[in-house]
């Protein structure tokens, strides 16, 4: 099955992405059938080959959630955006309106439970 997804390119800490069409079993950086556009998340700039994207979708190519959301936000396809799931650790680091989310509080309490006695002793020594 063919899928349209992002393939990371660019320098270290300066990511850019190619929007590529490739077999879903191949790694995103591997060989691709066709390049369908590019996306720069730092400048929020996207370039698409609209006709080719629409033709591949009509032929049955699937899209990753992120690519689908990009295409919807740029008006290439119509529909509602999909929710992209984040791992709990990343969600815990996000702060909403200055208050930590419930997920963040749960992760923080779990991390406190996991602390070893050695770590607790070190903390006590530092405090003294």
Q: Is 1 helix (H, G, I), strand (E, B) or coil?
A: coil
The secondary structure of the chain as a DSSP string is -EEEEEEEEEETTEEEEEEEEEETTS-TTS--SEEEEEEETTTTEEEE-HHHHHHHHHTT-EE-HHHHHHHHHTTSS-SPPPPPP--HHHHHH-EETTEE-HHHHHHHHHHHHH--HHHHHHHHHHH-
pLDDT computed for residue 21 by the predictor? 94
Task: Residue 28: give its domain's CATH number.
Answer: 3.30.1320.10
Q: Closest Cα to residue 3, out of 49, 64, 53? A: 64
Are residue 48 and residue 109 in the same domain, yes or no?
no
Q: Which domain holds residue 95?
A: 88-127
pLDDT tens-place string over residues 44-87: 999 999 999 999 999 999 999 999 999 999 999 998 998 887 77
Residues 69 and 117 in one domain: no
Q: Are residues 56 and 108 in the same domain?
A: no
Mean pLDDT for 98-127 is 58
**Structure-block tokens of residue 9:** 């390119």
Q: Do 2 and 61 form a contact (C-beta atoms < 8 A)?
A: yes
Number of domains in the chain: 2
Candidates 12, 66, 6, 65; CA nearest to 37 is 6
Does 79 fall in a domain?
no
Of the CA atoms within 13 Å of residue 90, those in its CB half-sphere come to 4
pLDDT in tens, 21-45: 999 998 888 888 999 999 999 999 9
Per-residue pLDDT, 113: 55
62 and 103 share one domain: no
Nearest to 52 by CA among 70, 69, 35, 31: 35
């Amino acid at each position: 099955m063919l899928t349209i997804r992002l393939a990371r390119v660019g320098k270290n800490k300066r990511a850019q992405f190619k929007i590529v069409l490739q077999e879903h079993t191949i790694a995103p950086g591997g060989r691709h059938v066709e390049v369908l556009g590019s996306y720069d998340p730092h400048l929020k700039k996207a370039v698409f080959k609209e006709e080719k994207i629409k033709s591949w979708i009509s032929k049955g190519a699937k899209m990753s959630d992120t690519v689908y959301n990009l295409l919807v936000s740029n008006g290439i396809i119509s529909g509602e955006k999909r929710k992209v799931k984040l791992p709990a650790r990343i969600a815990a680091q996000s702060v909403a309106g200055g208050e930590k989310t419930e997920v963040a509080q749960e992760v923080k309490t779990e991390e406190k439970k996991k602390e070893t006695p050695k770590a607790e002793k070190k903390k006590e020594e530092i405090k003294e």
